[in-house]
Amino acid sequence: MDLPDITTEATVRIRCSPPEKHVKLQQFADKWTHPDFPSQPVTDDALRATEEYFGVRLPGDYRRNVLETGLPQPTIALLDAIVERRLPLADISHFRRPAEMIEDTLTWRGISLPERFIVFASDCMGNMFCFDADRLRSNAPDSASIWFVDHDDGAAEQVAPSFDSWISVYCDVEPWPATKD
């Protein structure tokens, strides 16, 4: 696997080829979740309510993925693989349900999250993966980009051009072999 350029200790700038046409989030769920904890279903109505609240249209690849797959509940195996392989990636610990996107975005805006961001996932340290609402509203060429926001100081960095390319990087991480006691 070719590692992306390191931009900080916790984030990477992802440069990849155009995503394949099939759903990447399902590949992520198959690899990084436990069968006893299936993905949480998401409805189009719930996504539309979140979009209406923020006055945006969420990126098409994100909508397609979460509507078809639901929201995975990753296990510690992803973090283990990232740490043990010393990969320049922040883990994904939690995907926000649409109502949580609103609640958590509003809560973090009162603390350290810049106003333009909408939280959709986080790492194990509470740092956030976000969409840029200003870009979504303006329909800018990079409007579907993914941003990593540090929960301590609100420092933000674009880490991927799209949801599909972002989640694909985690699909390419190989699990760390389990050790025997």
- φ/ψ (deg, to 5) at 39: -60, 145
pLDDT > 80? residue 115: yes
Instruction: Locate the domains of the chain by residue range.
Output: 24-172
**pLDDT on residue 23:** 67
- At 16, the amino acid letter reads C
CB 166 within 8 A of CB 145: no
**24-172 CATH pick, 1.10.3720.10, 2.40.37.10, 3.40.1580.10, 3.40.50.2300:** 3.40.1580.10
Enter the pTM of the model.
0.84
Residue 36 has what DSSP assignment? T
Q: What would the pLDDT profile of 125-180 be if each residue is shown by its tens digit?
A: 999 999 999 999 987 766 789 999 999 888 899 999 999 999 999 999 999 987 55
